[in-house]
Structure 1
Amino acid sequence: MVAVFKKIFLRDLAKLKTEIELYRDEQKIWHAEKQITNSAGTLCVHLIGSLNHFIGAQLGNTDYIRKRDLEFLPDSVPRAELLKRLDETILVVAQTFDNLTDAQLEEEYPQLLFDEKVSTNYLLTHVVSHLNYHLGQVNYHRRLLDN
């Protein structure tokens, strides 16, 4: 299962990179309009924070400290910087999965999820679905607002 999780996370992070690269107008990455409250850039920063926290810090023992509130501030990080941060996150995710065993997936995750104890397997399933939820939003945002 570790190999399956690694493959899916890396595939979907590559897709997120592609979505950010596909914006014709770089400024649109940070555009929010009407009831679309989170820009693609905001969602990307949020996913980077989430993955570095739940996978990197908690499972990979990195020194990453998440500042979740800052992930949702309106910002204009240049595309090149977003892509650099995504590449760094991809490396953290890959290295963490390289050092994870299938037996560890059944162990209790080191942090509560919504005030509940869960297995690492459960947590990773939750995080990959969270990644895909926001990846779909980024894709839709790009196609809708970057015409």
Structure 2
Amino acid sequence: MLPELATALTELDDLIDQAKQIIQTMDPAGLDYAPGAEMNSIGAIATHIAGSLKWYLGEVIAQRDMRRDRDAEFRARGKDARTLAQMLDEAREFAREILETITPAMLDETRQARTRTVIVRQGVMHIVAHTAQHVGQIEITAQLWKMKRDA
């Protein structure tokens, strides 16, 4: 694997591990808790992280036909910690598989990401940043749930 992609994968590994650690501390009600209108639960955010990693790296970067129902990711409810952790681990493994296929020449190729054209190198960095943003949301949502639960 190319060094910059190995670095991206290390970051994704760390982020997924952070999300899983938080998820393991949550009870079922906490996993489904959304702190407000138009806000998402930890279960929904984790489901979205897994879905977006697979879609972005699979469809945008690797140019594979990936089936995805993005809206359903945010409606996800009732998934236990084990299921969410497994989804994240599967997405991590998929990321590893895709990143291993990228050659030096591919890094500067362009891809279409919905309405945007991105360079592969930029796309890889985008999915790391996107994952980090959502792991931060998981952390804050867990803190809000624990404050509410313990009040």
TM-score by length of 1: 0.86
Whole-Å separation in 2 of the counterparts to 1:74 and 1:107 = 35
Residue type at the aligned position of 1:87: D
Task: Label 1:73 to 1:35 Cα distance change in 2 as closer, same or farther (>3 A).
Answer: closer
Amino acid at match of 1:127: I
Unaligned runs of 5+ in 1: none
- 1:40-51 maps to which residues of 2 (within 5 A)? 40-51=42-53
Cross-structure match for 1:120:
120
Amino acid at match of 2:98: T
Q: 1:7 aligns with which of 10, 23, 26?
A: 10
- One-letter code of the match for 2:5? V
Instruction: Return structure 1 stretches of 4+ with deviation > 6 angstroms.
Output: none
Q: How many positions carry a matched residue from both structures? A: 144
Cα root mean square deviation, aligned: 2.0
Deviation (angstroms), 1:74: 4.8
Distance in 1 (CA, whole Å) between partners of 2:123 and 2:61 is: 11
Residue 38 of structure 1 aligns to a residue whose secondary structure is coil
Show structure 2 runs of 5+ residues with no match.
none
For residues 102 and 11 of structure 1, do their structure 2 counterparts lie closer, same or farther at Cα, with a shift above 3 Å needed?
farther
1:79-115 alpha-carbon deviations (Å, 9 max, x no partner)? 2111111111111111111222233221112x235x2
Q: TM-score, normalised by structure 2?
A: 0.84
SS at match of 2:113: coil
Task: Work out which of the residue numbers 90, 96, 99 in structure 2 matches 1:97.
Answer: 99
Shift in alpha-carbon separation, 1:146–1:10, aligned structure 2, 3 A: same
Question: Out of 99, 107, 110, which is 1:108 matched to?
Answer: 110
Which residue in the other structure is 1:142 paired with? 142
Between 56-65 and 13-22, report the one with greater CA deviation.
56-65
- Same amino acid, percent of matched pairs: 25
Higher alpha-carbon deviation: 100-109 or 115-124: 100-109
The code of the aligned residue for 2:113 comes to: L
1: distance between equivalents of 2:100 and 2:80? Answer: 30
Contact map agreement 1:10 1:94 (CA 8 A) in 2: no
* Alpha carbons of structure 1 residues 139 and 129: separation in structure 2 relative to 1, 3 Å: same
Query: Hey, which of these two has a bigger chunk of strand by percent?
Result: 2
